[in-house]
């Protein structure tokens, strides 16, 4: 069984990971869905679709990378915030599921 990395481990990884190695989801987390949609000239819904499929043309992918690089420190902090929020949400879901199992 593999263990999930802690927030501290994720933070250390994302602080040194080059921006051009970010996934599409990580890029859109770092920028925010609204900003990503504006940069790509598309809707928020389309950005969510791109995140789920992890498919984006090279020019559009390069646009997101350039935008993250333009304000890299802020984008990395936002990405870490989003990862921490996602981790907390998953923990809450797991705790809720465990309580439901205990009640049965």
For residue 57, pLDDT over 80 is answered with yes
Q: Is residue 33 part of a domain?
A: yes
Q: Which domain holds residue 49?
A: 7-103
Tokens describing residue 62: 């390069």
Q: Is residue 50 part of a domain?
A: yes
For residue 102, pLDDT over 90 is answered with no
For residue 2, pLDDT over 80 is answered with no
Q: What is the pLDDT of residues 10-47, one digit of tens each?
A: 888 888 999 999 999 999 999 999 999 999 999 999 99
Q: What is the pLDDT of residues 72-90, one digit of tens each?
A: 999 999 999 998 888 888 8
The structure tokens 């900003």 sit at 35
Q: DSSP secondary structure string, 31-47? A: H-HHHHHHHHTS-HHHH
Q: Is residue 48 part of a domain?
A: yes
Domains held by the chain: number? 1
- Residue that wins the pLDDT comparison between 77 and 6: 77
Q: Is residue 71 part of a domain?
A: yes
């Amino acid at each position: 069984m593999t263990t999930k990395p802690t927030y501290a481990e994720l933070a250390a990884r994302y602080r040194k990971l080059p921006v051009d190695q970010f996934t599409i989801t990580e890029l859109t987390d770092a920028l925010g869905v609204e900003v990503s949609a504006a940069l790509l000239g598309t809707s928020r819904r389309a950005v969510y679709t791109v995140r789920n499929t992890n498919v984006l043309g090279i020019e559009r992918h390069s646009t997101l990378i350039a935008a993250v690089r333009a304000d890299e420190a802020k984008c990395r902090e936002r990405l870490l915030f989003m990862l921490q929020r996602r981790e907390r949400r998953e923990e809450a879901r797991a705790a809720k599921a465990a309580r439901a199992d205990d009640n049965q």
